[in-house]
Amino acid sequence: MHIVLLDAKTLGEDLDLGILEPFGEVTLYQTTSPEETPARIQDAEIIITNKVVITKEMMQNSPTLKLICIAATGMNNVDLDAARDLGITVKNVAGYSTQSVVQHTFSMTLYLLEQMAYYDQSVKCGAWTKSGLFTDVSRPFYEIAGKKWGIIGLGNIGREVARVAAAFGAEVYYYSTSGTNHDQTYRRVSLDELLKQCDIISIHAPLNENTHNLINRTNLPYLKENSILLNLGRGGIINEADLAEAMQTKTFYAGLDVLEQEPVREGHPLLDIPHPQNLLITPHIAWTSIEARKKLLKGIVENIKSFLQKA
């Protein structure tokens, strides 16, 4: 088998990709541009892609291609209808990053809730030293206990966030973006009610026609003062221009691990808000704990094994 990994750099240099070699000849590319993709997959039998887009035309011009392994849960970078019509199997890896994303959700929450940026700077700039006090209570922070935590998207990750939030003592609400998730443990509400009532709101939904621009200038005004809005789902669920505008006129906090365009473009309006300490942006790393990436690679290997056993 000729196996082509198109964007090895996204998996990290600390993984042993030699685990793929027993299955055949492995060609690794650190990154692959759209212009480079057709030639690189033309003679492949198995390709592995994290975010490299695979189109119908590319598959049609790759006569030996049998299996596409997506190094992720989301499958929107592959034309699935075309793959099915062409008899090409497509496999993803589900559930590998749940604990990593949940942990990052609470890392972002606590960073913003406890004013970590402010207090870290207070120490490092010498303000604490000059104060002569053993403590600093110049900026209040709050506890999760007793707060209302709203979850947008109650899938596997959303349910685990709900469980941990409840363990912290939060009262959990949720909005189902698909309309199909029901969990009597928590209170299901409309999106508007969730935005109006909740102190902390975290998004764990996929990007689709139901969720694109779900949070925008029409409902951002519903957010409570000093509330926290987190997006760990997909970029595009929050309209970022509308978010930047809202953060100029209202006091609330936002934590984003995903953006509509990644990496963030120069001149993005969120990079120029008047109170940057109210915004935390991380570079799409919620899924990337070493444990999660090891599970991901193991899942890719299992998908290849399973495919070859059936071939």
In whole angstroms, give the CA distance from residue 46 to residue 94. 19
Quote the tokens at residue 62.
């790759």
Q: Measure the CA–CA gap between 71 and 49, rounded to whole angstroms.
A: 6
Residues involved in catalysis: 234, 262, 284
For the chain, the residue count is: 311
